[in-house]
Amino acid sequence: MATIADKNNITVDATQTHTDGTQSHIVGMPKAYFSLRVIQFFVAVVVLGLVGHLISATFGGTFGQEVFALVAAVFTLIVILYGLIAEAYQPATYNLWAVLTLDALMTVFWVVAMAVLAELRAAEHPFTEECGYYYCYFDGANSVYLNQLAAAAGISGLELYVQPNR
């Protein structure tokens, strides 16, 4: 039996579980936490839109890096919705260890997504400039595509910045 003494030196049993729906097992978060989650949700939606447009710009040919960033954005949306709904409306489904583990996993996902998108931006692409003797053909989507890749990588870094640390 683990006991915890509060500020009035009253001993409380810390191993007792609450199944009556009370929120005693939920760690109280400051009000800024909710705004961080909203910003994180918005940034994940922006990355989802950018990467979705990148995938549609390649006319069905996708790079694995784009798909990984897409999966990271979708998983982040799911994790945010789970955390906010479980904390506010379904306290019986809230698990502190699950929230901590999912936040740590999303941090790793976003570090990798940022790195692979930046690597894809720096690598050679099928969208290149082709020059012949009398002409030089430049695919206009090349610069837009590469700029969107750079933006997606940068915004993935912003996602890391707004990731709440407990």
The parent domain of residue 118 ranges over: 32-161
Orientation of helix 141-161 relative to helix 31-57, angle to 10°: 160
Residue 13 lies in a domain: no
Within a domain: 166? no
Contact 55, 152 (CB under 8 A): no
Regarding predicted confidence, which is higher, 163 or 37?
37
Q: Does the residue 24 lie in any domain?
A: no
> 71 lies in a domain?
yes
| Average pLDDT along the chain | 78
Q: Has residue 130 been placed in a domain?
A: yes
Q: What is the pLDDT of residues 26-42, one digit of tens each?
A: 666 677 778 888 899 99
pTM above 0.85, yes or no: no
Q: Is residue 3 part of a domain?
A: no
Share above pLDDT 90 across residues of the chain, in percent, rounded to a whole number? 30
CA dist., res. 96 & res. 82, Å (int): 12
Q: Which residue has the tokens 């506010």?
A: 88
pLDDT of residue 56: 83
Torsions phi, psi for 138 (to 5 deg)? -120, 120
* pLDDT score of 106: 92
What domain count does the chain have?
1
Question: Rounded distance, CA 166 to CA 161, Å?
Answer: 14
Asked if the structure places residue 50 within a domain, the reply is yes
Q: Is residue 23 assigned to a domain? A: no
Q: Please report the sign of the dihedral spanned by the C-alpha atoms of residue 84, residue 87, residue 90, residue 96.
A: positive
Q: Helices 96-122 & 64-88, crossing angle to 10 degrees? A: 160
